[in-house]
Amino acid sequence: MNYSLAQRYELGEIIGSGGMSDVYAAQDTLLGRDVAVKMLRSEMARDMNFRERFRREARNSSKLNHPNIVAVYDTGEETIDGIGIPYIVMERIHGNTLRDLLRNDGPMSPQEAAEILQPVCSALQASHDAGIIHRDIKPANIMLTNTGMVKVMDFGIARALDDSTSAMTQTSAVIGTAQYLSPEQARGKNADARSDVYALGCVLYEAITGGTPFQGETPFAVAYQHVQEDVTPPSERMPEIDLAPTALLNVDAVVMTSMAKHPGDRYQSAAEMGQDLELLSRGSVTQAARAHVAPSQEQFPTQTVGYPETHAAQPQQAYPETAMAGAPGPASAAGTAAGAARALPANAPGAHTAPPTATMAKPSSHLRWLVAFIMIALLVIGAGYAWSVLNDRDSRRQSDNLAQSETVSVPNIIGLERNEAIAKLEEVGLRPEIVDAPDPEIPEHHVVRTNPSVGSQLQRNTTVTVTVSTGKEDTQVPRLVNMTPQEASAALAEVGLELEPEVDEEFSDSIEQGRITRHEPAAGANLPKGSRVRVTISRGPEIVDVRVPSLTGMKWSQARETLESLGFVPKPQFVDSLEPADRVLGVDGAGQMRPEGSDVRVEVSNGLLTTMPDITRKNRSQALNALRDAGWEANESKLLTGEPVDTAVVTDQGLIAVTSPSPGETIRKDQEINIRFYEFNLRALVP
């Protein structure tokens, strides 16, 4: 496709397609850079819902400025065949999507997957801090560039955190991709930042197992499983790789925490998940795994007396939760999912010991009484211990229930004035901790972001870090005059500023075409970092049509000044003429309109012509004077004398009889003149 969009973007081939739009490789002819242009398909553009979704993507993406989010340069709408087609101009990314990598190369190691998805957490946290949830995190929307960068794209269904719109449309169609849909979205409830965490957990699951957590014949069947079914731990579906049981537990803990059914049991922010992914990529123990390791040996007394096998099994049946630390919270399922092979520590209650050997000697009577007494005592102690464990577990459950009932949601205080934000947090029982930081958009003394993020579920009296804007961090505008737009863009980037994509143009006699004549703000002005500078580019000298004047009879010097004042370039052509020297004889194109700056040919007299006077019947001296009076300027040597002319009149002797040229002819002032004198000769009397 060869099409010029907005008289600026030259569209090339299609490099990607989605359900509602196509992406073209393109060239920004103004700034001379490669871009990608995403255009809504014409059949979709007729539907206002699709148009609004596309515009929302443009708005949301343009708000975000993060190295791991595809940058948006420009947006607009082009009328094609009578239909308004919205478009988005984005940075051109060269690479492959995570979906393509998984299809071509199969599942990854947990460390490799964690390295790829940790930057995604960073991008999502930036999005959440800006008040936007993605709502469609999936492998197809995660791009790995040829330079190793990770980019998150497609904010087509993203919404603001405080948007009350349901996660289901009016036709009950699930928003998002079913394989990565959080339970709350599947129920039609509002999504928050933790919904993106759940989706990223599904992506991590697929990256290390090669398959999505749930499969079904229809999207609704898959969505139902997200709500009702427990996911199989990834360690049970991972390819055969050499991982220690603790490493498998590490992977399970991260995945199962991020995919917890209840949002309050997940990571409470993308940043928290990113921290665990960084630990996972280094092979370190994650925070999720620490919450689910087996109890230490000091927690339970060592069994020193052997029980019959039937008794030895009873504590294991009575206290199945001792197989893993039963700490309530994000990844309780991860503990039980690791398998029976790592279910009980060797010294936990109920861990079995060897039964008495069959070769033991039969005890004496008093020994039997002693043994019976000891057995009874041990049974009493065991019963007391069992009661204490059960009572402790009930107490913990009651404590957990009480804690859950005391959890509160972090209110949306983004953009509020500092004191108002503090009051809102204290009103719900949270403790604000203020951190000051500059921000290019949020006014001074107003909230930029919170950690944990808005919507997170926390216990009362938990500290919430509140970042408050100290105002805009300023930088100085450099001088851009006489630069190209590309040079100006680089110069602005060095000081943290951007070039406004839309430029102005003007004629300039002093600045070369295509270079900057001026910019706003001017050099030396202070601007907040991230601001844009608008430039004006030279179109070269302005071309104006001017009427050529008639200058005949004017002196050449005056004519030249007149033409130059009108913007013409006078070109004199000196010709032989009877007119005085430097007198204008004519102007080429006089009376016509010609572009300013054009050459104009002017005929100018060189003054070298004159009229031959009648010098006959004059002596040489008289003839020379007459010639000088007529303007003849040649040396006297050019007055040549020819053969004499016979005469019978004595008085004619010494007078000029004939001249060449003849009297009245036009001559050059420096040319030769031939004269013949009378000579008295008697033979002239003879007829």
Residue 444 makes CB contacts below 8 A (sequence gap 6+) with 469, 470, 471
Look at residues 250, 328, 333 and name the one whose alpha carbon lies nearest to residue 289. 250
Going 108 to 111 to 116 to 117, the CA torsion angle's sign is positive
Strands 457-459 and 407-409: antiparallel
Same domain, yes or no, for 11 and 120?
Answer: no
Tens digits of per-residue pLDDT, 102-151? 999 999 999 999 999 999 999 999 999 988 899 899 999 999 999 889 99
Residue 464 CA, chain-centre distance (Å), reads: 32
What six digits make up the tokens of 657? Answer: 């009889």
- What lies within 8 Å, CB to CB, of 374 at 6+ separation is 305
Choose among 286, 294, 214, 212: nearest CA to 252.
Answer: 286
- What's the CATH code of the domain at 480? 3.30.10.20
Final residue belonging to a domain, choices 61, 91, 121: 91
Query: Is position 346 within any domain?
Result: no
My answer on whether omega of the bond before 521 falls inside 30° of 0, hence cis, is yes
Selection from 116, 270, 121 nearest residue 192 by Cα = 270
The residues pairing with 572 across neighbouring beta strands, listed in sequence order, are: 602
pLDDT of residue 585: 94
Question: Out of 136, 265, 276, 439, which one is annotated catalytic?
Answer: 136
- Cα–Cα distance, 133 to 159 (Å, whole number): 6
Question: Do 677 and 592 belong together in one domain?
Answer: no
Report which DSSP code applies to 321: G
Contact at 8 Å (CB) between 49 and 64?
no
Specify whether 69 is located in the same domain as 32. yes
pLDDT at position 170: 34
User: Could you give the CA distance from residue 487 to residue 636 in angstroms, rounded to a whole number?
Assistant: 72
Say which residues have a Cβ less than 8 Å from residue 637's Cβ, sequence separation at least 6. none
Q: Are residues 100 and 230 in the same domain?
A: yes
Average pLDDT score over the chain: 81
Q: Are residues 230 and 104 in the same domain?
A: yes
**Residue labelled with tokens 């739009």:** 21
One domain, residues 437 and 533: no
Identify the three-state secondary structure at position 347.
Answer: coil
Residues 6+ apart with CB under 8 A from 323: 335, 336, 340, 343, 344
Place of tokens 């907005």: 6
> In CATH, what number is assigned to the domain containing residue 194?
1.10.510.10
**Same domain, yes or no, for 567 and 650?**
no
Select from 45, 70, 91 the last residue of a domain. 91
Distance CA 206, CA 101 (A): 12
Q: Based on the domain organization, do 69 and 132 belong to the same domain?
A: no
User: CB-side exposure of 605: number of CA atoms within 13 Å?
Assistant: 19
Look at residue 271 and give its three-state secondary structure.
helix
pLDDT tens figures, 299-310? 323 333 332 333
What is the model's pLDDT at position 518?
A: 94
Contact between residue 158 and residue 57 where contact means Cβ atoms under 8 Å apart: yes
Measure the CA–CA gap between 201 and 214, rounded to whole angstroms.
12
- Answer yes or no: do 235 and 280 share one domain: yes
In this prediction the pTM is 0.47
**CATH number of the domain bearing residue 21:** 3.30.200.20
Over the stretch 469-491, which tens digit does the pLDDT of each residue have?
Answer: 888 778 899 999 999 999 999 99
Asked if residue 416 belongs to a domain, the reply is yes
592 in a domain, yes or no?
yes
Could you write out the three-class secondary structure of 103-135?
HHHCCCCHHHHHHHHHHHHHHHHHHHHCCEECC
Q: Residue 3's pLDDT is what?
A: 82
The answer to whether 641 touches 679, Cβ cutoff 8 Å, is no
Q: Are residues 618 and 652 in the same domain?
A: yes
Flag the least confident range among 454-468, 513-527, 575-589.
454-468
332 occurs within a structural domain: no
Number of domains comprising the chain: 6
Task: Report the distance separating Cα 93 and Cα 25, nearest Å.
Answer: 10
Among candidate residues 87, 3, 94, 83, the one with its CA nearest the CA of residue 45: 83
User: 444-462: per-residue pLDDT in tens?
Assistant: 899 999 988 888 888 888 8
Report yes or no on 372 lying in a domain.
Answer: no
Token pair in block for residue 554: 């004017």
For the stretch 236-292, pLDDT in tens is: 999 877 777 778 889 999 999 999 999 999 999 999 999 999 999 988 889 998 876
Find tokens 């004047």 and name the residue: 549
| 68 backbone dihedrals φ, ψ, rounded to 5° | -105, 15
Count of residues in the chain: 687
Return the HEC string of 567-624.
CCEEEEEEECCCCCCCEEEEECCCCCEEECCCEEEEEEECCCEEECCCCCCCCHHHHH
- First vs last Cα of the chain: how many Å apart? 105
Is 19 in the same domain as 51?
A: yes
Query: Band of the pLDDT at 71, cuts 50, 70, 90?
Result: confident
Residue 3 phi, psi (nearest 5) = -145, 135
List all residues 6 or more positions away from 67 whose beta carbon is below 8 Å from its beta carbon. Answer: 149
131 near 414, Cβ under 8 Å? yes
Look up residue 66 and give its amino acid.
H
For 659, the domain range is 611-685
> pLDDT tens digits for 596-642?
889 999 999 999 999 999 999 999 999 999 999 999 999 999 999 99
Q: How much is the pLDDT for 362?
A: 39
Structure tokens at 161: 């955190």
Element (DSSP H or E) covering residue 655? none
Q: In this model, does residue 85 exceed pLDDT 50? A: yes
136 catalytic? Reply is: yes
| 1-27 confidence digits (pLDDT tens) | 678 898 899 999 998 887 788 899 999
The SS3 assignment for 172 reads: coil
Strand, coil or helix: 255? helix
354 has a pLDDT exceeding 60: no
Last residue of a domain, one of 489, 520, 538: 538
- Is there a domain that residue 109 lies in? yes
112 and 251 inside one domain: yes
Residue 402 in any domain: the answer is: no
Cα–Cα distance, 574 to 582 (Å, whole number): 8
Strand 498-499 and strand 532-538: pairing?
Answer: parallel
Residue 343 placed within a domain: no
Residues 402, 418: Cα–Cα separation, whole Å:
31
Q: List 446's β-bridge partners, or say none.
A: 417
Percent of the chain with pLDDT over 90: 52
